[in-house]
Amino acid sequence: MTDILHRVIADSGNVFGLACDTTLLVNEACRRHDTGPTAAAALGRALTGAVLLSALLKDGQSVQLKFEGCGPIKKIITEAGYDGWARGYVGNPQADVPLKNGMVNVAAAIGRAGFLTVTKDIGLKQKYQGTIQLYTGEIGEDIAYYLLESEQTPSIVALSVQLNKDGSVGAAGGYLVQALPPVDETILTKLEARVQDIPSISDHLHTGKGASEMLATLFADIPHHATGTTGLDYTCSCNREKMEGAIISLGTESLRDLIAKEGGAEVQCEFCRDYYSFSKSELTTIINRLEKH
């Protein structure tokens, strides 16, 4: 079993859909960050949203979503690439809020007063960045609002994370449907009505149906064809060289202080929680190199 993203487009060429199963990916993220139920639902939705937005890009390109609100979670940052990798973290992994109608209240955990910043790396020197105020804090609705406000692209975005009784992730996934210009309001209205009548994303995944079946249900009344699939996994791009860059940014005075007080340094990646250790001799070598420049 692997996580996967499927793509379809209407035969008319005026609307396309993406759907993904991110259950394993989200479980890995939650395991690494030791999230409680509320943070697991929020991080899982944000990771799935990043996966869907990255699928709108091209090979080698990536996107970052940053949710910053007034709620106890504080912030969520997720990143995903067109070729299927994703990573992310949440500011307060153990944040908790009361349930709403028996469901995890992600909007209250994030807080409606705040911002969503979308940063796209399309291979240019300068990254493209757009920021909107949070619309509802429900993540999927905020992403759809961003696409409409910042990119003038009407879209339907649905994200879901279903938790088991022990707090682990039982199912996670989502879909994005987007109209292509010239926008046909009739077909969008038909799809929006269709969304109200179909089983939930988590129900689809729990019954053994995957992302492709999700799209088949969504596009049941619209002639369409598949355009591709992408395997997904939780992958971090951190490495020792990048962490050395973080050490260098501290400056020689701070590095000397670390040597004197700690005898070395240990740096942890926020995204994957892996540690990188630098010995006294390694820090001394870095200091000498900095002073030569």
The CA distance from 26 to 3, in Å, is 10
pTM of the model: 0.92
The whole-number pLDDT of residue 272 equals 92
Is residue 197 within 8 Å of residue 2, measured between CB atoms? no
- Reported as a single tens digit per residue, the pLDDT across 139-149 is 999 999 999 99
Listed in order, the ranges of the chain carrying CATH 3.90.1280.10 are: 240-292
Q: What is the mean pLDDT of residues 186-200?
A: 80
Residue 175 has pLDDT above 80, yes or no: yes
The architecture that CATH gives domain 240-292 is Alpha-Beta Complex (3.90)
Residue 232 CB contacts under 8 Å (≥ 6 apart), including other chains: 2, 3, 4, 5, 20, 21, 22, 25, 51, 84, 85, 86
Q: What is the mean pLDDT of residues 198-211?
A: 81
The CA distance from 122 to 54, in Å, is 10
- At residue 1 the predicted structure's pLDDT band, cuts being 50, 70 and 90, is low
Q: Higher pLDDT residue, 52 or 151?
A: 52
Q: What is the mean pLDDT of residues 267-281?
A: 93
Residue 189 has pLDDT above 90, yes or no: no
Q: Using DSSP, state whether 103 is helix, strand or coil.
A: strand
Helix (H) or strand (E) holding 171: strand 169-179
Residue 7 has pLDDT above 90, yes or no: yes
Pairing of strands 62-69, 169-179: unpaired
The whole-number pLDDT of residue 193 equals 83
Helix (H) or strand (E) holding 68: strand 62-69
- Reported as a single tens digit per residue, the pLDDT across 64-117 is 999 999 999 999 999 999 999 999 999 999 999 998 988 899 999 999 899 999
Q: Higher pLDDT residue, 204 or 226?
A: 226
Q: Using DSSP, state whether 253 is helix, strand or coil.
A: helix
The whole-number pLDDT of residue 84 equals 97
- At residue 276 the predicted structure's pLDDT band, cuts being 50, 70 and 90, is very high
- At residue 2 the predicted structure's pLDDT band, cuts being 50, 70 and 90, is confident
Rg (alpha carbons) of the chain, rounded to whole number? 21
What separation in angstroms does the CA of 233 have from each of 12, 65, 84, 124, 282?
32, 17, 6, 25, 33
Percent of the chain with pLDDT over 90: 73
Orientation of helix 185-197 relative to helix 211-218, angle to 10°: 120
Residue 132 has pLDDT above 90, yes or no: yes
The CA distance from 37 to 75, in Å, is 16
Listed in order, the ranges of the chain carrying CATH 3.55.30.10 are: 3-234
The CA distance from 181 to 173, in Å, is 27
Which fold, 3-234? Hsp33 domain (3.55.30)
